[in-house]
Amino acid sequence: LPGARELPVIETVSGIPFFEVAPGILACAGGVGKVNAAAAAEILCLRFGAELILNAGVAGCCTDLAIGSLVVADTLMQHDVDTTAVGDPIGLVSTVNRTEFLSWDPDACLSLLKKQGVDAVKGRVATGDWFAVKGDRARWIADTFHPLLVEMEACAVAQVCLRNDVKFSALKSVSDHLFFDNQAEEYFDFTHALESLGRVVLPLAQALSEL
């Protein structure tokens, strides 16, 4: 979020600082990975009474979408959950007993972005505690879950929102391509991906809060 570093911290919970980025809209950087993301989401639900959580970040792409392309998640899964040894389908998340999580009205998010003059697509997102790089594991994720994007947080937030009956949306910006030979160079130069995301995430959050 442009200017976020200059905002005063309204409260720090479990080491996570929270900021009011607009009236009635809080933001935080929970940290990398599923546990950090889930902790931040749970605090937003229980401490701050969030009605909707918008998870924003960068992600690796399984196709050739351009760097900085925006993707609204429609379905999400956790590629690193595997209890197949006891007869479960791959990716089944126990306690909620599902392999797929749905975001809240992705078409509405696309419509709101379009009204802002922003192009975006919707797609499947695979989440796991692994920085995805080209290789056998990445190919297995692509062939098994058929995601458009692979990243490390979104589905963990979706799971927390489901259990708290809170609406969930995710907006991701393409930072790199899993199956390109220059993936590492792309990832470590993702300024464009962050700028593309930063321009729209707060206007989208404000529009969502008004629905």
So what's the pLDDT on residue 35? 98
The half-sphere exposure of 86 on its side-chain side, counting CA atoms within 13 A, is 7
The token pair at 93 is 């998340």
At 44, the amino acid letter reads L
pLDDT tens track of the chain, all 211 residues? 878 888 999 999 999 999 999 999 999 999 999 999 999 999 999 999 999 999 999 999 999 999 999 999 999 999 999 999 999 999 999 999 999 999 999 999 999 999 999 999 999 999 999 999 999 999 999 999 999 999 999 999 999 999 999 999 999 999 999 999 999 889 888 788 999 999 999 999 999 999 8
Whole-number Å distance between alpha carbons of 56 and 6: 19
For the entire predicted model, the pTM comes to 0.96
So what's the pLDDT on residue 189? 84
Whole-number Å distance between alpha carbons of 50 and 44: 6
Q: Which domains does the chain have, with CATH numbers?
A: 54-209 (3.40.50.1580)
So what's the pLDDT on residue 31? 94
The half-sphere exposure of 128 on its side-chain side, counting CA atoms within 13 A, is 22
Radius of gyration of the chain (CA): 17
So what's the pLDDT on residue 69? 97
Q: Please name which of 146, 144, 159 lies closest in space to residue 82, comparing C-alpha atoms.
A: 144
